Amino acid sequence: MNINPCDIIRKKRFGGELSEVEIRAFVDGIVDGSFADYQASALLMAICINGMTDRETLALTLAMAKSGDTLDLSDVAGVKADKHSTGGVGDTTSLILVPLVAACGVKMAKMSGRGLGFTGGTLDKLEAIPGLSISKDTDAFKQQVRQVGCAIIGQTAQLAPADKVLYALRDVTGTVDCLPLVVSSILSKKLAAGCDVVVLDVKTGSGAIMDTPEKSRKLAEMMVRIGNLSGKRFSALLTDMDQPLGNYIGNALEVEEAIDVLAGRTQGDLKTVALTLGAHILRNAGAADSVEAGIAMLEEKIKSGEGLKVFGDMIEAQGGDRRVTEDTGLLPKAPRRVELRADRAGYVTRMHTSDIGEAAKLLGAGRERKTDELDLSVGIVMNARLGDAVKKGDLLATLHVGDRSDRIGAYNLLKKSIDIGDERPAPKPLIQGVVE
């Protein structure tokens, strides 16, 4: 059945609801090239202006998921789970919860992405581990999930190829933040990856794509609604990003902090969010009766050392040096340190989290374009948190500087990103809501 692209564009331009057939024709057209870029761009703008119903968004998500390869995990025994974050700074939860959840008996078959802009990417962090490869074919990926209980690899080139085309167009047409397009982009990749249970971490605050609780909740509710309509089990947490989640920002540094959490040496917000997300996975997968019981199970896997062992097993299965789990000194180290100290006494009243991420990017920890080469050793260690009392001269942060780092630019931006005032700010909840 031939459908004229102009008819689809015109229908949506005047606020009509596109049929499943029309949406599938649109997705097929952008993949095979029968839809011109300018036609696809026109439809994206019409969608951005007039929105989409849940039925349209589900149809778009499923069509994008089926636009290329889909991963069939039915021959891997047990419940398969995944987690997705909308992106933040110092957010290393995947490296913590994946081995811990696997140690509790739920298979974690995770395909991740690279960092772009001020948000870090799980694949980049993993590649800071000497020898580790994030590339595996489908059969090897599934075999690792069977044997180890978990794997984290890069998405294949043919996984939801329609999303790659649409995202590139959204990026240059001012339609990146259109809610139905965000939802279909994220969920199409998750559905194509074949897991039964998916838990979403939707960030909110100064270091998040959605900078207000209202926007974040709307996104979370729509993703869970559409995800559940697809027949999978979805939940979402709304988590604070008004300061970096962990204290370490940068690829090797974040691996080090994840290992410290798994080894039981580090407490704090990063551990809290990782365990809460992991507990929702265990509850949704039927491995725990409640979120509270799930957290207790994960804590026990830290205490027993099983979580750290599974992380080592995963590293080894992907060609990496598992000795890093015992000796983080084997990770890449930046050659220089630069300290940022408080220029007055008071309280840390505000952090501009996205600017902290941008400062790490100036050091070489992040990329502006996908082709940019990272320095996996550089980054920032935060020595103060929101609400902390500080004296003049106290250490606020330490920059780990490499040979190619913009040290001065990063230092000045980091300095501007931390506000010190006379009154301690009211504490905000770390986990601001749950959407089931």
Taking the alpha carbons at both ends of the chain, their separation in whole angstroms is 39
Let me know if 283 is a catalytic residue: no
| Residue 13 burial (CB count, 10 A) | 16
Of the residues 80, 83, 84, 361, only one is catalytic, namely 84
Residue 221, C-beta contacts closer than 8 angstroms, at least 6 positions apart: 236, 435
Calculate ∠ Cα 140-144-146, nearest 5°: 115
Strand bridging mode 197-204 / 233-240: parallel
Sequence length of the chain is 436
Secondary structure (3-state) at 145: helix
Let me know if 280 is a catalytic residue: no
Q: For residues 248 and 200, what is the distance between their CA atoms, to the nearest angstrom?
A: 22
Identify whether the C-beta of residue 245 lies closer than 8 Å to the C-beta of residue 87: no
Sign, CA dihedral 340-343-348-354, equals negative
Phi, psi of 252 (to 5 degrees): -65, -35
Copy the structure tokens of residue 156: 């294949």
At 401, the amino acid letter reads V
Let me know if 230 is a catalytic residue: no
Let me know if 185 is a catalytic residue: yes
Alpha-helix runs per DSSP H in 344-387:
353-363
Of the residues 164, 189, 203, 361, only one is catalytic, namely 189
Identify whether the C-beta of residue 8 lies closer than 8 Å to the C-beta of residue 25: yes
Which has the closest alpha carbon to 61: 170, 161, 175, 181? 181
Of the residues 185, 188, 354, 417, only one is catalytic, namely 185
Copy the structure tokens of residue 100: 């811990």
424: DSSP letter: P
At 275, the amino acid letter reads L
Of the residues 82, 91, 124, 163, only one is catalytic, namely 163
Of the residues 170, 190, 217, 322, only one is catalytic, namely 170
Which has the closest alpha carbon to 166: 73, 71, 67? 67
Which residues are the active-site residues?
A: 84, 163, 170, 185, 189
